[in-house]
Amino acid sequence: MGTCFSRGDRSPTRRRGSRRVANPAADGGGGAGSNRWARMRSSRKEEALIHERALAAAILFQQQLQNGGGTAAFDRSASLRYPNGCSKRNQALPRSSSSRARSLTDPLLQPHQLINQDIKLDDLETNHFVLVHGGGFGAWCWYKTIALLEESGYRVTAVDLTGSGIHSFDSNNIESLSQYVKPLMDFMEKLTDGEKVILVGHDFGGTCVSYAMEAFPAKISKAVFLAAAMLTSGQSALDIFSDKVESNELMRQAQVFLYANGRDQPPTAIDFDKSILKDLLFNQSPTKDVALASVSMRPIPFSPVLEKLSFSETNHGSVRRFYIETLEDNAIPISVQESMVNESPPERVFCLKGADHSPFFSKPQALHKHLVEISRIP
């Protein structure tokens, strides 16, 4: 304020003021006339500013009416969404907390956008997913899938197979597939009569899903094989992968056989070389998920991999099967997945573009969309 008053004493200001007086008689007021003119200019500036603000508010209100299609509510965040034009700093638009560039094949969508609103979950045969992890993984690997499904209204159970995840048993001491898959079988046994679930098996978890299909066909609405071993009767997981592993140099380099009973005895478990883990299993996955896996994965028991399974048409054959392929998979290449699909065609096949062997990390949104779609197939 002091600066404004002091500038009134300078000659340039006096010259500008005199030129604005059109009537010579007005000069007779001396200092009073000058103060009166200053007040008039100040008043006009304030009126102009008020008019500009009112016009801006009217435009904003009209925009909100057009966007909202109804009465616009001026909520608390309006000042953040429509910052003051006098602000000297440009405010950036909100961004995802993820530092990884999002692929168009895995769009960031809200869970309700992935659901057909015309179908209610209560109308489905079941809205309960049971997630079965692959070899070396645990229930922890499904954390993104669990969150997305639950936010969409589904029930989700993720099991830790024997010697996996937080299950305390030593995987070197697992001697059979029945022992390895016991936590899943115990869960299925406890389901009430008429209660059904959708089983989702990843990797070697596909073998476990097949085992459960033979034992509890009436309790399984659908079986989903996610980049998984999908056996036919008389096959073992080793039968499917043994020939392919020989031609998969990366797999051979990554595998580390453990001999808890001595080198003169068969291997008891299979571990992975942590330095090759990313290239083999997580070549498209975020770094933070690779870090989680590197400290969470455990050895795969060897005996269950050797075990051949026998299926019947009345049990295993009566369950609807679906397969989800992962196109950038270095552990179970797409050629191996397609070979299994061609040998025993499921009801439908889905593809995850840009997905590595761990799509629950690399393509969680796209995977979620496929699972929801499968649950809604009548």
Instruction: At 165, list the tokens.
Output: 């995840």
155-159/128-132 β-pairing = parallel
Query: How far apart are alpha carbons 338 and 170 in whole angstroms?
Result: 34
Instruction: At 67, list the tokens.
Output: 């966007």
Identify the bridge partners of residue 257 per DSSP, sorted by sequence position.
Answer: 270
The reply to whether 203 belongs to the active site is yes
Query: How far apart are alpha carbons 270 and 262 in whole angstroms?
Result: 14
The reply to whether 122 belongs to the active site is no
Give the active site residue among 329, 356, 368, 370: 329
Overall residue count recorded for the chain in this entry = 378
Q: Which residues contact 200 (CB under 8 A, 6 or more apart)?
A: 129, 130, 131, 132, 209, 224, 226, 371
Give the active site residue among 160, 203, 289, 356: 203
Q: Taken in order 92, 97, 99, 100, is the CA torsion positive or negative?
A: negative
The reply to whether 329 belongs to the active site is yes
Helix, strand, coil percentages, rounded to 5, for the chain = 45, 10, 40
The one-letter amino acid at 202: H
Residue that is written with structure tokens 């300078």 in the block = 10
- DSSP conformation letters of 201-250: EETTHHHHHHHHHHH-GGGEEEEEEES-----TT--HHHHHHHHHHH-HH
Return the exposure string of 193-213: e unless at least 16 CB atoms fall within 10 Å of the residue's CB, then b: eeebbbbbbbbbbbbbbbbbb
Give the active site residue among 128, 202, 316, 357: 357
Number of H helices, E strands in the chain: 16, 9
Query: How far apart are alpha carbons 270 and 254 in whole angstroms?
Result: 10
Neighbour-count burial of 328, counting CB atoms closer than 10 A to its CB (0-12 exposed, 13-18 middle, 19+ buried): middle
DSSP 200: E
Asked if 187 and 157 touch (Cβ cutoff 8 Å), the reply is yes
Task: Give me the active site residues, please.
Answer: 203, 329, 357
